[in-house]
């Protein structure tokens, strides 16, 4: 990845000051008593060649990447103790980027680095910290107004892991705070999604019955024409299928066509109850990624705004703040949207299953009620001889 003006400050500071960090190798070659050449292999694979001119109290550092391509060049002025006093940083094209001024403490350790433009406008200030043994523990970066932009510390290894465990315990809230304003709508969507899924899952659990066994029990009751007991059983059974059956039993003496209409109307009334809040889950599944994308755009605007406000010069820490925010919101939107869509699909399948159960129950109960209806107005057909005999008996 190629950064324009970005990340130069941190790279230069770490590489230049790496001379005192133990990463500098012994001098490979000495051209004369006045000029010393020192080669330093850096942790990122780059190579820094220092040429010290003790007579003129100057030095030149040439930084190249792993492929030998020039990354930047720094021209230093040395103090009487041979330490870096000031430095001018140039890009690979020879274009001036910024200059640095170094300040040391009484122990000779680099304490502060002030970076400024060619006309003296301060860009950043880097303050280094050390432990009791004099080992560097990190550095803090401030802007021209003294506002802290970031703090860099080495990774802590070893048995002291209690602070990390405390950080992990509050990791979720930390991510939400670092994600910025758009993390809160995404968090609200996740809470609503969980609440809707839990409510619908509980509703479907209570409304689900074994339709086959329920109809088998009702068929025995209806054959005995005990409709009062059938009404009691259907009214006491939860679920939309039981309510459809109850609506048909109430009008058990109606014709078949009318019973079919009654069952269909009762089933249509149950559909909105089954599909309640499913639209909310579908909306959240589509809205959460959009909120994450909006947070991503806001984070990138913040990052490029930082570059613009600092005159085209920005540290990696300054850029990472906006990029980190954008990545967090994107990840949060996807984390909320993915399980929400899965929950919506699952609940939709449950709705389809219950609609099938209602349809089956309606068809079966219509058949049961029409078959159990008594045949009224029976007409008996007699032979002509039997009819004449009957008339003779009546006349006599």
User: For the segment 353-384, what is each residue's pLDDT rounded down to a tens digit?
Assistant: 999 999 999 999 999 888 866 544 444 444 55
Domain ranges of the chain: 8-154, 171-372
Q: Which distant-in-sequence residues (6+ apart) come within 8 Å of 90 by Cβ?
A: 72, 73, 74, 75, 96, 97
CB atoms within 10 A of CB 252: 18
Least confident range from 41-45, 246-250, 288-292: namely 41-45
pLDDT for 106 equals 83
Distance between terminal CA atoms of the chain?
Answer: 123
Residue 52: its pLDDT value, please? 87
**Gap between the Cα atoms of 177 and 110, Å rounded:** 34
Length of the chain: 396
Q: Residue 63, exposed/middle/buried by CB under 10 A (0-12, 13-18, 19+)? A: buried
Reading the block at residue 386, the tokens are 């039997």
DSSP assigned state of 188? H
Residue 133 confidence (pLDDT): 76
The DSSP bridge pattern shows strands 70-78 and 96-104 to be unpaired
Mean pLDDT value of segment 21-34: 43
CATH 3.30.70.270 assigned to 8-154: no
Burial pattern 91-121, b for ≥16 Cβ within 10 A else e, equals eeeeeebbbbbbebeeeeebbebbbbbeeee
For the record, the structure tokens of 306 come out as 């930082």
pLDDT at 384: 52
Q: What is the pLDDT of residue 340?
A: 96
Tell me the mean pLDDT in the region 322-344.
91
Model's pTM, two decimal places? 0.53
Structure tokens at 130: 């050390």
| Mean pLDDT score of the chain | 79
Flag whether pLDDT at 28 surpasses 90: no
Q: How confident is the model at residue 315 (pLDDT cuts 50, 70, 90)?
A: low
Number of other residues whose CB lies within 10 A of the CB of residue 377: 4
Per residue in 173-200, is it b (16+ CB within 10 Å) or e — as a string?
eeeeeebbebbebbbebbebbeebbeeb
- Scan for tokens 């001036």, then name that residue: 96
| Edge-to-edge order in the sheet of strand 29-30 | 29-30, 35-41, 47-53, 58-64, 70-78, 84-90, 96-104, 110-116, 122-130, 136-143, 148-152
Cα 378 to chain centroid, rounded = 74
- Residue 37 DSSP code: E
> How many CB atoms are closer than 10 A to CB 292?
26
Give the DSSP H/E element, type plus range, for residue 84. Answer: strand 84-90
**Regarding predicted confidence, which is higher, 42 or 127?**
127
List, in order, residues 6 or more apart from 331 with CB less than 8 Å away: 292
Q: Provide the 3-class DSSP secondary structure of residue 289.
A: helix
User: Quick count: other Cβ atoms within 10 Å of Cβ 1?
Assistant: 4
Q: Is the pLDDT of residue 27 over 60?
A: no
pLDDT of residue 385: 53
pLDDT single digits (tens) 187-233:
999 999 999 999 999 999 998 888 888 888 888 888 888 888 889 98
* pLDDT value for 376: 47
């Amino acid at each position: 990845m190629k950064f324009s003006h970005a990340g130069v400050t941190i790279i230069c500071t770490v590489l230049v000051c790496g001379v005192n960090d133990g990463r500098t190798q012994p001098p490979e070659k000495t051209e004369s008593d006045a000029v010393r050449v020192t080669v330093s292999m850096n942790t990122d694979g780059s190579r820094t060649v220092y040429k010290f001119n003790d007579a003129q109290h100057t030095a030149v550092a040439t930084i190249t990447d792993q492929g030998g391509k020039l990354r930047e060049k720094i021209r230093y002025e040395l103090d009487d103790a041979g330490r870096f006093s000031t430095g001018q940083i140039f890009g690979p094209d020879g274009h001036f980027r910024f200059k640095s001024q170094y300040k040391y403490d009484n122990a000779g350790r680099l304490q502060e680095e002030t970076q400024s433009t060619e006309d003296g406008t301060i860009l950043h200030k880097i303050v280094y910290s050390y432990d009791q043994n004099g080992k560097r523990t990190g550095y803090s970066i401030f802007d021209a107004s003294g506002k802290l932009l970031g703090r860099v510390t080495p990774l802590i290894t070893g048995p002291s892991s209690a602070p990390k465990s405390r950080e992990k315990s509050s990791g979720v809230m930390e991510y939400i705070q670092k994600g910025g304003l758009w993390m809160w709508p995404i968090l609200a969507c996740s809470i609503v999604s969980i609440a809707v899924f839990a409510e619908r899952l509980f509703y479907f659990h209570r409304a689900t019955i074994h339709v086959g066994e329920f109809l088998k029990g009702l068929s025995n009751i209806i054959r005995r024409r005990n409709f009062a007991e059938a009404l009691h059983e259907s009214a006491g059974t939860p679920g939309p299928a039981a309510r459809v059956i109850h609506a048909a039993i109430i009008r058990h003496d109606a014709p078949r066509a009318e019973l079919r209409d009654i069952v269909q109307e009762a089933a249509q009334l149950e559909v909105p109850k089954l599909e309640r809040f499913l639209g909310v889950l579908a909306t959240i599944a589509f809205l959460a990624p959009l909120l994450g994308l909006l947070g991503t755009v806001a984070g990138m605007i913040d990052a490029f705004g930082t570059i613009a406000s600092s005159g085209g010069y920005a540290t990696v820490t300054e850029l990472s703040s906006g990029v980190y925010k954008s990545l967090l919101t994107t990840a949060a939107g996807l984390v909320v949207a993915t399980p929400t869509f899965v929950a919506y699909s699952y609940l939709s399948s449950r709705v389809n299953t219950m609609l099938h159960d209602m349809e089956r129950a309606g068809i079966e109960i219509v058949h049961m009620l029409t078959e159990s209806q008594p045949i009224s107005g029976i007409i008996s057909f007699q032979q002509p001889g039997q009819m004449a005999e009957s008339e003779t008996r009546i006349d006599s």
